[in-house]
Amino acid sequence: MGLTTAVVLAEDGRRVRVWARDPIERTTSAVAGGLWWPYRIEPEALAGAWSLRSFAVYEELAARPDETGVRMVEGVQGETRLDDLGPWAARVPGLRAATADEYAGTGLWARLPLIDMPVYLRWLRERLIAAGGTVEERVVRDLGEAAAEAPVVVNCTGLGARDLVPDPAVRPVRGQLVVVENPGIETWLTSVDHTSAKSTYFMPQPGGLILGGTADEDDWSLTPDPGVAEEIVKRCAAVRPEIEGARVLDHRVGLRPARTAVRLEREVLPGGRVLVHNYGHGGAGVTVAWGCAHEAAELVGPAAS
């Protein structure tokens, strides 16, 4: 979210400096599975519009997958019906009910952006630098530090907003993943029960098949749980038996920055400086990134001529 917003602002002619505590390789975004879908994000009406704007960008980027990390890949959203989705779903090209051959249950077939996040994040950073922006590793303990150095501050701190704003409505939703050697699976699948912390999904990425997952609310642990990892592999192998016995390449954990609703708003600070908040995207950050970035840029206002 931070890099995308920075790119939009820089390409709009603004001088942009990004302050980040961690390098992109150690962020939650680098851990994410990378499938476009408005997952666990509110408000739904706005999230749908943000998602569709982002979808259009990813479709273009998918023409250069080696460079951008973005591909258009077929798969099935299990336990999902069109009638259960918002108006945005009608504008997703080709989204339809899955056939019995495609999924043994109720689901939706789609061809969606699937993003290799480490590659994509590096590409975003390079695009920002090419537009004249800079990225600095810096710990910020108060938003006033940034406001003292810039007339406009955009707060894309994710889970960090809980302490930095402070905003106690921001909470972690822990996700654990297992990466295995891909036994030849070329499509993705998700099966999510929103009443449970456990889900089943797999996503073929160039570096391996990503298996998930979990959604443990208010869990701050970044240490992979071996028992949870074993359960994830079993759930995925129940859908695609060839996953059983696949060599494990990596274990990953990320903390989704969840909130009851995204906070995307402008605040005028004492002295007239501007603070734009853009956080609380949960597990849908990459899905809504470009839509939210453009809206944040509109809240910032036009660049000085």
Inter-helix orientation angle 2-11/285-300, to 10°: 40
The annotation status of 286 as a binding-site residue, yes or no, is: yes
Strand pairing category for 152-155 and 134-137: unpaired
Structure tokens that stand for 271 in this block:
């002295």
Q: How many CB atoms lie within 10 A of CB 182?
A: 20
The annotation status of 212 as a binding-site residue, yes or no, is: no
Peptide bond into 213 cis (omega under 30): yes
The annotation status of 287 as a binding-site residue, yes or no, is: yes
The annotation status of 140 as a binding-site residue, yes or no, is: yes
The annotation status of 27 as a binding-site residue, yes or no, is: no
Residue 249 exposure: Cα atoms within 13 Å on the Cβ side: 14
Strand pairing category for 171-180 and 208-214: antiparallel
Ramachandran region, residue 13 (left: φ > 0; alpha: ψ -120 to 50; beta: rest): left
The annotation status of 229 as a binding-site residue, yes or no, is: no
The annotation status of 157 as a binding-site residue, yes or no, is: yes
The annotation status of 29 as a binding-site residue, yes or no, is: yes
The DSSP code sequence of 43-78 is -HHHHHHHHHHHHHHHHHHTTSHHHH-EEEEEEEEE
Could you tell me the sign of the dihedral formed by the alpha carbons of 38, 54, 57, 81, in that order?
positive
The annotation status of 7 as a binding-site residue, yes or no, is: no
Is 297:270 a contact under the CB 8 Å cutoff?
Answer: no
Is 41:284 a contact under the CB 8 Å cutoff?
Answer: yes
Is 269:142 a contact under the CB 8 Å cutoff?
Answer: no
The annotation status of 256 as a binding-site residue, yes or no, is: yes
- Binding residue positions for D-dopa: 201, 256
Task: Cite the annotated binding site for D-serine by residue number.
Answer: 283
Residues placed in the known binding site for FAD: 28-29, 140, 157, 282-287
**Residue ranges of the binding site:** 28-29, 140, 157, 201, 256, 282-287
